[in-house]
Structure 1
Amino acid sequence: MTPSADIRAFMGRLGHDFARPELLVRALTHGSIASATRPDNQRLEFLGDRVLGLVMAEALFRADLKASEGQLAPRYNALVKGETCAAMAREIGLGDVLKLGRSEMLSGGRRKEALLADAMEAVIAAVYLDAGFDTARDMILRLWRDRLDSLDDDPRDAKTALQEWAQANGMPPPAYDQTDRSGPDHAPVFHITARLADGREAHASGAGTKRSIEQAAAQALLDRLEGRE
């Protein structure tokens, strides 16, 4: 097939010229527009998740030969989690070329975290199937380079760190309460309170996923506990 102008432009941003552009088109096809003759990207997403995982695990393993499994695991999780994949998708303008059904498009699908993360993984699989593992690895390492270089020694997410703090201090895991939700359905604003069993709490609000605002609330409470507020 001959790729459209927007698909060719995306190939340029991705840094890979597909010999089989139909693989890329499939990777960009959401279930809301799929049909018997136009398969969605779910199978590719499954494969791409594993390719990304292997590349990141190998890169971390080689980058720090003295790191323990306990040190490598949170670094790995920070690199492959959905939020990171969605952020990478935004950086390369993946949302602009997603193939969505009308209802999904009208509800802001091009900006949805989960859709972007899934499509990013599917695109990785498409590159892998089109040109092999070495090419996919080179692309991933190029796109993720800044994140690999700037990764903290202990990049645990805030919710994990807060839970570990609670356990270390003899408390049950913290609770996360949604106190309000505002804004339109396609761009909701969540209001979340993170609360410890002893009553200490912190609040965060903002647009994005509920999970990301829970992370922000957890970080705010950690800052309070550590006197950084």
Structure 2
Amino acid sequence: MALSAEQKDFAARLGHDFATPALLQEALTHPSVATPNRKDNQRLEFLGDRVLGLVMAETLLAADQTAPEGQLAPRFNALVRKETCADVARAVGLGTVLRLGRSEMLSGGRRKEALLGDAMEAVIAAVYKDGGLEAARRLILTHWGDRIANVEADARDPKTALQEWAQARKLAPPRYVETDRSGPAHAPVFTIEARLDSGEVERASAGSKRQAEQAAARALLTRMEAGTHD
């Protein structure tokens, strides 16, 4: 089946001309709209995750030939995690061409982080199967771009860093408490407080609990490391 005009535009944004259009269509098909004659993207997602991991591992090793595994691992994790894949998906407009079931669309599926991240991995696999590893590598290096160059600044997971900060001072691990949830059901906004047993608290809001927790942890860690806590 030929690509639709929207799918052709998306393929152009990716920078890949599909010899087998069905691969891209499969990558864009969420399980909520799959049928016996229309495969969903879960198998491609599985493959794409591994292709992304291989390319990133090779890229990081080539970029820093002296870094030990302990430095490479957090950089790698920052580049392949679901949030990063979802960011790339948003940048290329993947959500606009996803094929979703009605209930998934009504619940804001085109903006869901996990759904976008999974679909981006499936697209990587589609390119890999269509054009080989070099085509997949070009796609990844093009669209991850500055994220690779700036990974050192992004590699430190705020929740992990805050927990390590607390442990080093013999404090209990931080707690994360949802204090508010607003917005419509298809696009909720979560407000989370990061709390230390010593009494310090920072609050953040985001479209997912994980993002709000990370933002609250980052704010609290910044405050504690700056020595501005009361």
TM normalised by structure 2 equals 0.96
Q: Secondary structure at the match of 2:29?
A: coil
Following superposition, the deviation at residue 153 of structure 1 comes to 5.6
The code of the aligned residue for 1:149 comes to A
Counterpart residue number, 1:70: 70
Q: Following superposition, which runs of at least 4 residues in structure 1 exceed 6 angstroms of deviation?
A: none
| Superposed counterparts of 1:1-229, under 5 Å | 1-152=1-152, 155-206=155-206, 208-227=207-226
Following superposition, the deviation at residue 132 of structure 1 comes to 0.8
1:45-67 CA distance string (max 9 Å, x none):
01100100110011001100111
Distance in 2 (alpha carbons) for counterparts of 1:153 and 1:211: 19
Instruction: Please say which of residues 191-200 and 52-61 is displaced more in the overlay.
Output: 191-200
The code of the aligned residue for 2:67 comes to A
Q: 1:154 to 1:21 in 2, by over 3 A?
A: closer
Distance in 2 (alpha carbons) for counterparts of 1:205 and 1:136: 35
- The alignment of Structure 1 onto Structure 2 pairs a total of residues equal to 228
- The answer for unaligned runs of 5 or more in structure 1 is none
Distance in 1 (alpha carbons) for counterparts of 2:14 and 2:227: 39
Following superposition, the deviation at residue 191 of structure 1 comes to 1.0
Contact 2:78-2:154 within 8 A present in 1 as well: no
Q: 1:41 to 1:72 in 2, by over 3 A?
A: same
Distance in 2 (alpha carbons) for counterparts of 1:169 and 1:224: 15
Contact 2:57-2:76 within 8 A present in 1 as well: yes
Q: Percent identity?
A: 66
Q: 1:169 to 1:109 in 2, by over 3 A?
A: same
Q: Secondary structure at the match of 2:152?
A: coil
The code of the aligned residue for 1:169 comes to R
Distance in 2 (alpha carbons) for counterparts of 1:141 and 1:50: 15
Superposed CA RMSD = 1.3
TM normalised by structure 1 equals 0.96
